[in-house]
Amino acid sequence: MQRTCGAGARMLAGLVTLFASVGASPAVSTPTVKQIGESIRDRFVRAARDCGATLPFVPAVVVDPTKTIDVHYSYDDRTIHLTDWTNLDADSRAAITAWAAKGTLGLPPEGMYREMFDSFIAPHELGHYLQDVAKRWRGMSGWDAELEANRIGIAFWSLQPGPEGRVEARVENITRFLDDVPSPVPAGDTAEAFFNRNYAAFSRGEEGPLNAMNYSWFQALMFKTALRERGDHPFCKLVALNKAA
């Protein structure tokens, strides 16, 4: 997507009509969303430069006051846009609360939200930043751009020590909630073809076969694919693929 690019944009928005429950209170001692995003951004940029990347700019990190879930990299302002649990409306909190109940790491709703939308997804959006630096994104299909961004995210987290680097457990925690969601791909079609055929309309916010719920299904599929194939896509290889134009 040109303005709003990445897995975070509107991901899981379709869940807000399905669940209702109470969210968790914000933790007092946790770092702010901006601090989390800037820490990930700084480590990502440092890792890319360690791979030999020449980066003409470093993206800013902002926390938008939106009441709904919307995390993305914007090509327009070269910024990673995050959202904060404390700003979310009741429907969005209800969706995350139900999702957290299906998670495998035992996280409370706010913890699950931060794990996914303020942490795990951030290097995916930074993958779109690399695609922007390389001026590749205009020529990439939606499927290729999103899958590559997921590969970049998985590869980055695999370099991190401690719990952050336990990508198998993190992917399982994030994707478990979609186990009961049926495949949106019609019989005789392929996931890639269906996604590419409907991606542009979805990116423009138009109603169609690719909606918020099954977009989440596709992103979960890509998370798992990137995890399964991570040995073929190490971080420095992906950085080299996105050499500054």
Amino acid identity of residue 221, one-letter, is L
Pick from 70, 68, 171: which is nearest to 115 by CA? 171
Cα–Cα distance, 202 to 91 (Å, whole number): 21
Per-residue confidence at 13, pLDDT binned at 50, 70, 90? very low
Residue 4 lies inside a defined structural domain of this protein: no
Contact 41, 126 (CB under 8 A): yes
Pick from 128, 4, 1, 8: which is nearest to 74 by CA? 4
Look over the chain and give the mean of its residue pLDDT values, rounded to a whole number: 89
pLDDT at 29: 63
Q: What percent of the chain has pLDDT over 70?
A: 88
Contact 131, 59 (CB under 8 A): no
pLDDT at 188: 95
Residue 17 lies inside a defined structural domain of this protein: yes
Cα–Cα distance, 1 to 130 (Å, whole number): 14
Three-class DSSP category at 134:
coil
pLDDT at 33 over 80: yes
Residue 171 lies inside a defined structural domain of this protein: yes
Residue 8 lies inside a defined structural domain of this protein: no
pLDDT at 74: 95
pLDDT at 28 over 60: no
Domain that holds residue 115: 13-241
pLDDT at 62: 98
Residue 3 lies inside a defined structural domain of this protein: no
Lowest mean pLDDT across 20-29, 189-198, 218-227: 20-29
pLDDT tens column, 109-125: 999 999 999 999 999 99
The number of domains in the chain is 1
Residue 5 lies inside a defined structural domain of this protein: no
Q: Pairing relation of β-strands 60-64 and 72-74? A: unpaired
> What stretch of H or E contains 81?
strand 79-83
Residue 116 lies inside a defined structural domain of this protein: yes
pLDDT tens column, 67-98: 999 999 999 999 999 999 999 999 999 999 99
Residue 1 lies inside a defined structural domain of this protein: no
